């Protein structure tokens, strides 16, 4: 095989199970994200998306299976792994009493990175996100979307190869959502990898090279959008149709619509 370059995945989970007490939150889940790829995690509420991301970050220990980020085990080499990941949590813990300026300085000092290049990243991203005007306001006083922008910038400060983003567009307006989508695309063009969760089918459709649909802790389907379509009857043209079919929620959606019509219009519902 000489002369053949093997490319290793930047993110890899194989046979990962996670138990919380007697509850099996992840059940034999496997995924891999290669350099240059955007991988989307879709699934109903409670499916296990956040748990998957936390396992990859080393914040939750797998009961079974193996996890590697940049070839490293997040539990055995937590600092090395975290230095390679830009992480945006579902509920970002951003120190509320600090201003964005103080918070970014804190992140730079914690990460022991060059403050000059870090400040360059921060000021450019603050400009693209229109955040500069809020730089000295306590984070507690910022709106939800502004806090999300602070969390996103903090995840980029050390220019990591891997981005793990849990619903990164949460609370963002249309312009800022576009910025985040562009950031994700540029990141993979430079050879990085992105794994993100979302409930927004359109975003997954636009951005992902591969998509995994998770339900009750299991991957029920993984592949390109076309591969997922072919797992259903192939007629579902949108990812939403495919998603609802694969998670068996099509009939549940129809039921909810009927229940709502009955609640609003009583027996006159049709």
Ligand X SMILES: Nc1ncnc2c1ncn2[C@@H]1O[C@H](COP(=O)(O)OP(=O)(O)OP(=O)(O)O)[C@@H](O)[C@H]1O
Per CB under 5 A, residues contacting Mg ion are 49-50, 90
- The minimum distance between CB 206 and Mg ion, in angstroms, equals 21
47 binds ligand X (CB under 6 A): yes
Chain residues 12-31 in contact with ligand X, contact rule CB under 6 A: 20, 23, 25
Neighbours of 15 (CB within 10 A): 13
The residue within the footprint of ligand X, chosen from 32, 49, 187, 210 (CB under 6 A), is 49
Partner from ligand X, Mg ion, none contacting 48, C-beta within 5 to 8 A by type: ligand X
48 binds ligand X (CB under 6 A): yes
Token pair of 48 as six digits: 């296990």
* Size, binding site for ligand X by CB under 6 A: 12
23/264 with CB nearer ligand X: 23
- Do 51 and 39 contact (CB within 8 A), yes or no? no
198 binds ligand X (CB under 6 A): no
49/158 with CB nearer Mg ion: 49
- Do 141 and 133 contact (CB within 8 A), yes or no? no
The residue within the footprint of ligand X, chosen from 29, 33, 50, 139 (CB under 6 A), is 50
Question: Computed from CA positions of residues 102, 104, 105, 110, in that sequence, does the dihedral angle turn out positive or negative?
Answer: positive
Token pair of 12 as six digits: 């890899």
Partner from ligand X, Mg ion, none contacting 148, C-beta within 5 to 8 A by type: none
Q: What does the alpha-carbon distance between residue 57 and residue 47 come to, in Å, rounded to a whole number?
A: 18
The residue within the footprint of ligand X, chosen from 8, 15, 46, 159 (CB under 6 A), is 46
Partner from Mg ion, ligand X, none contacting 198, C-beta within 5 to 8 A by type: none
Chain residues 82-141 in contact with ligand X, contact rule CB under 6 A: 90
What single string gives the DSSP state of each residue in 134-177? GTTS-GGGS-HHHHHHHHHHHHHTT--SEEEEESTTTT--HHHH
- Do 63 and 15 contact (CB within 8 A), yes or no? no
Partner from ligand X, Mg ion, none contacting 20, C-beta within 5 to 8 A by type: ligand X
- Do 58 and 72 contact (CB within 8 A), yes or no? no
Question: Computed from CA positions of residues 76, 78, 81, 86, in that sequence, does the dihedral angle turn out positive or negative?
Answer: positive
CA distance to 33, 197, 239, per residue, from 26 (Å):
18, 15, 23
> In the chain, where does DSSP find H-type helix?
49-57, 78-82, 100-111, 115-128, 144-156, 174-189, 201-207, 225-231, 239-246, 250-265
- The minimum distance between CB 56 and ligand X, in angstroms, equals 12
- The minimum distance between CB 244 and Mg ion, in angstroms, equals 19
Residue with the CB atom nearest Mg ion in the bound state: 50
31/118 with CB nearer Mg ion: 31
49/147 with CB nearer ligand X: 49
The residue within the footprint of ligand X, chosen from 9, 13, 40, 43 (CB under 6 A), is 43
28/83 with CB nearer ligand X: 28
The binding site for ligand X (CB under 6 A) comprises 20, 23, 25, 43, 45-51, 90
């Amino acid at each position: 095989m000489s002369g053949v370059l093997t490319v290793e995945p930047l993110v890899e989970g194989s046979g990962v199970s996670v138990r919380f007490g007697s509850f099996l939150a992840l059940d034999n889940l496997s995924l891999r994200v290669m350099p240059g790829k955007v991988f989307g995690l879709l699934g109903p509420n409670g499916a296990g998306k956040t748990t998957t991301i936390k396992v990859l970050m080393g914040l939750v220990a797998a009961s079974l299976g193996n996890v590697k980020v940049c070839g490293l085990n997040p539990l055995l080499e937590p600092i090395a792994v975290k230095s390679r990941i830009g992480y945006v949590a579902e509920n970002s813990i951003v120190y509320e009493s600090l201003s964005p300026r103080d918070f970014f300085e804190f992140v730079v000092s914690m990460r022991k990175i060059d403050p000059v290049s870090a400040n360059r990243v921060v000021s450019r991203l603050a400009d693209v996100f229109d955040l500069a005007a809020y730089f000295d306001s306590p984070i507690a006083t910022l709106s939800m979307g502004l806090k999300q922008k602070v969390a996103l910038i903090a995840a980029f400060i050390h220019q990591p190869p891997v981005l793990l983003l849990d619903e990164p567009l949460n609370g963002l307006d249309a312009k800022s959502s576009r910025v985040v989508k562009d950031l994700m695309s540029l990141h993979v063009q430079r050879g990085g990898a992105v794994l993100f969760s979302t409930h927004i089918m359109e975003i997954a459709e636009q951005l992902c090279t591969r998509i995994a649909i998770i339900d009750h802790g299991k991957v029920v389907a993984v592949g390109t959008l076309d591969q997922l379509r072919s797992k259903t009857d192939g007629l579902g043209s949108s990812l939403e149709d495919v998603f609802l079919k694969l998670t068996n929620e099509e009939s549940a959606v129809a039921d909810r619509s009927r229940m709502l019509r009955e609640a609003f219009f009583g027996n006159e519902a049709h």
